[in-house]
Structure 1
């Protein structure tokens, strides 16, 4: 006869979802709770690919948010050395636009305000879909703050 677990023994913890682990990886380490940081370290210790992925994601975030001597090309080379399928496609896309990414990192100008206006105009267009012509869309876009 097999023994059934006693009622005093707590059940083993549920495995964490992919979404939860992704959130932990994408969150700045100083913003994770101690328990979350410990669990992320446990997961990273169990899976070497996940550990490499986490290191590359952190390095890329550091590269984009803080001044550093490292370049995007250095990051792409490091990703290719580990041959992670999850990042290979992203690194290939970055490599195609490496000049634009480098320029975006180094210039003080940003396209955020322009993107915000484009987003606002698209929202107005969706609201008006099928109701009026371009003249009304133009007036709403120009007169709306």
Structure 2
């Protein structure tokens, strides 16, 4: 502690001479220092009060700082603490850390097969999951479902639904899973059989496009010919 006292004095009490630090308290990310001046009375940098006892804090919450110094007997009001924080603390440049990944990026990482993720994305996803147990559980459910789709293992769907329904930390997934049971046979067939309705959906999309192109320009007969002959 002795080696950091000069830095604390310079940071918090640079305008006061003859400072003697009495206590240093660290609470979470807030460092609170109580000291007294050996040069008689001085203007406290924490509240502006002319006194022999001074205090300082790296907290940038004006209300919290005012509550702390009020308990120490400071006669100044909240406006003084707010002015001090605005003038002294909030004006200092704050360290800029790495930008957190967006929700879109994290979603893409989770939906991508782990073997297809670049090394940089894989490391970032690992760091995100390490700090969020809910996302870790979600990623496990998503990858389990993706494995069923890729390997046509529809027989595992009831087990997946049961596991997703029993989860408590993912309410959205918990409410989604029971909807699959409304048409369980169709969903199971889609996860088991090699056929799908992709071709039909493609034709439906083409018909809708032709209908939009000819809206207000031609009647049903011409529309029918375009659909059949196009």
TM over 0.5: same fold?
yes
Shift of 1:130: 2.0
Matched residues in 2 for 1:126 and 1:55: separation? 42
Match of 1:105 in 2: 191
- Compared with structure 1, are the counterparts of its residues 138 and 69 closer, same or farther at alpha carbon in structure 2 (3 Å cutoff)? closer
1: CA distance between counterparts of 2:212 and 2:173?
A: 34
The higher relative CO (CA closer than 8 Å, separation ≥ 6) is in 1
TM-score (norm 1): 0.86
Q: Structure 1 or 2: larger strand share?
A: 2
The structural deviation recorded for 1:67 is 4.1
1:93 and 2:179 aligned: yes
Q: Could you say if the C-alpha distance between residues 65 and 37 of structure 1 is closer, same or farther in structure 2, counting changes exceeding 3 Å?
A: same
Using the size of structure 2 for normalisation, the TM-score is 0.56
Q: Tell me, what secondary structure is at the counterpart of 1:15?
A: coil
> Unaligned regions of 5+ residues in structure 2, if any?
1-10, 13-57, 59-91
- Cα distance 1:73–1:37, how it changes in 2: closer, same or farther (>3 A)? same
For 1:127-138, list aligned pairs within 5 A. 127-138=213-224
Q: 1:63 aligns with which of 136, 139, 148?
A: 148
Unpaired runs of 5+ in structure 1? Answer: none
Q: CA RMSD in A?
A: 2.2
1:90-115 CA distance string (max 9 Å, x none): 21221211110111222333221111
Q: How far 1:141 sits from its partner (Å)?
A: 0.7
Give the structure 2 partner of residue 77 of structure 1: 162
Q: Which moved more, 1:129-138 or 1:38-47?
A: 129-138
Q: Are residues 1:49 and 2:125 paired? A: no
**What do the CA deviations read for 1:39-79 (whole angstroms, capped 9, x no partner)?**
10111111111111111010000011114475211111111
**Runs of 4 or more consecutive aligned structure 1 residues displaced over 3 Å after TM superposition:** 2-6, 67-70
The 2-side partners of 1:101 and 1:51 are apart by: 25
Could you list the per-position Cα deviations for residues 6-56 of structure 1 after superposition, in whole angstroms to 9, with x for gaps in the alignment?
9xxx84110111111111111111111111111101111111111111110
Aligned residues: 141
